[in-house]
Amino acid sequence: MKSSLLQVENVSKYYYRSSLERLLVLESINFSIDDSEEGQIISVLAPFGSGKTTLLKIISALEKPSGGEVLLLGKKYENPSGKIAYLPEKPSHFPWLNVKENIKLISQMRDVKLPVENINKIISLVGLSGYEDHVPNKKSLGFRFRAALGRALAVNPKIILLDDVFKSIETETKDELYAMLRDIKKELKLTFLLASANVTETIILSDQIFLMHQRPGKIIGEIVPQRLNNISGSTKAEEFTSIRKEIESAYQIENFSSSINISI
């Protein structure tokens, strides 16, 4: 039996609108991610405003849940320690530091020296070799995402949470970033948990998709598009369409098809 890398158990979250009225954002979220030796990309597919960000912040311990708990390798994960790295939707690299300094910052933070070869390896993994001294301040969103991802990789996390990070990036760059993510997954045997509202993105990128509906956010199903990896040609296109239909029908049952972004 495979052990769990991450378990989200009965996580719920509500905010108080007033002293009498409370808003339920997440309701009994349950899912787990196996401790794969290969590394994997798992997605939480959900419409806009369904609490994806709140869920990721709870998983990374940036926010406390109102109920339930998050377990990392069987242990309660309550304080952010770098084992679960969170990359927000907007660029989070520091514009006052160049690529190399952004990555080295973590060693400065932890008072340990990050070996030069590790820094160079990270820079090469995120595809920024030759840009070490570039300041990402005025660069493209893709460049900034790479720099922020490099910084997260420097802490050697167990999971990296990606909060709809590709949303504002142009399509050509997105394809490059998807490929980069797959390479990193393979090379470092790392698990990514992507929250996204884009069906196509989750199908082509993920090994497993959790479907979440909104108000309150709740997991309604699970799809494994991994099967796409083993086929090619027209069969692959057919399989892709069939997965999309599966997703759409899951949302139709829940009456949420209109709010999910299904652009390709």
Partner 1 sequence: MFSEKSRKKNIYYFLSLYLLLWIILFEFVFPVNNVLPKPSIVMLSFGDLWHVYNFGINFLSTFSIILISIVLAYFLIWLFRVPLTKGDFIYSFITSLEWFSNYIPGIILGLLLIFWFPDFEYTDIIFAFTAALFSLIIKFKKEIRFVKNEYIEAVQSLGATDNFIAKSVVWKSIEPALFNHLYKLNFYLWTVLIVFEYIKGKHGLGSVIRLTIQYQDLAAFFSTVFIIGLTIFILILLGKFIQRKYYYWESA
Which of 90, 113, 189, 245 forms a contact with partner 1 (CB under 8 A)?
90
Q: Is 58 in the site for partner 1 (CB under 8 A)?
A: no
Q: Is 133 in the site for partner 1 (CB under 8 A)?
A: no
Query: DSSP state, 180?
Result: H
CA distance 189 to 111: 26
CB 66 within 8 A of CB 48: no
Restricting to residues 135-154, name those near partner 1 by CB under 8 A: 135, 137, 148, 151-152
Nearest-5° angle of CA 49, CA 63, CA 30? Answer: 65
CB 102 within 8 A of CB 93: yes
Nearer to partner 1, 135 or 180 (CB): 135
**Smallest separation, CB 95 to partner 1 (Å):** 4
Nearer to partner 1, 68 or 82 (CB): 82
Residue whose token pair is 């158990």: 9
Q: Is 204 in the site for partner 1 (CB under 8 A)?
A: no
**Smallest separation, CB 22 to partner 1 (Å):** 23
Element (H, E) at 59: helix 52-59
**Smallest separation, CB 159 to partner 1 (Å):** 10
Restricting to residues 98-127, name those near partner 1 by CB under 8 A: 105-106, 108-110
Q: Is 94 in the site for partner 1 (CB under 8 A)?
A: yes
Nearer to partner 1, 90 or 227 (CB): 90
Residue whose token pair is 């340990």: 112
Specify the stretch interacting with partner 1 by CB under 8 A; choose among 91-99, 120-128, 170-178, 241-249: 91-99
Q: Is 178 in the site for partner 1 (CB under 8 A)?
A: no
Q: Is 188 in the site for partner 1 (CB under 8 A)?
A: no
Tokens coding 156: 């050697």
**Smallest separation, CB 242 to partner 1 (Å):** 36
Q: Among candidates 152, 146, 144, which has minimal Cα distance to 94?
A: 144
- Its sign, for the CA torsion 96, 99, 100, 105, is positive
Specify the stretch interacting with partner 1 by CB under 8 A; choose among 13-21, 81-89, 182-190, 252-260: 81-89
Nearest-5° angle of CA 141, CA 42, CA 126? Answer: 35
CA distance 105 to 154: 9
CB 73 within 8 A of CB 18: no
Which spans of this chain sit near partner 1 (rule: CB under 8 A)? 57, 60-62, 80-82, 84-92, 94-96, 105-106, 108-110, 135, 137, 148, 151-152, 155, 157, 161
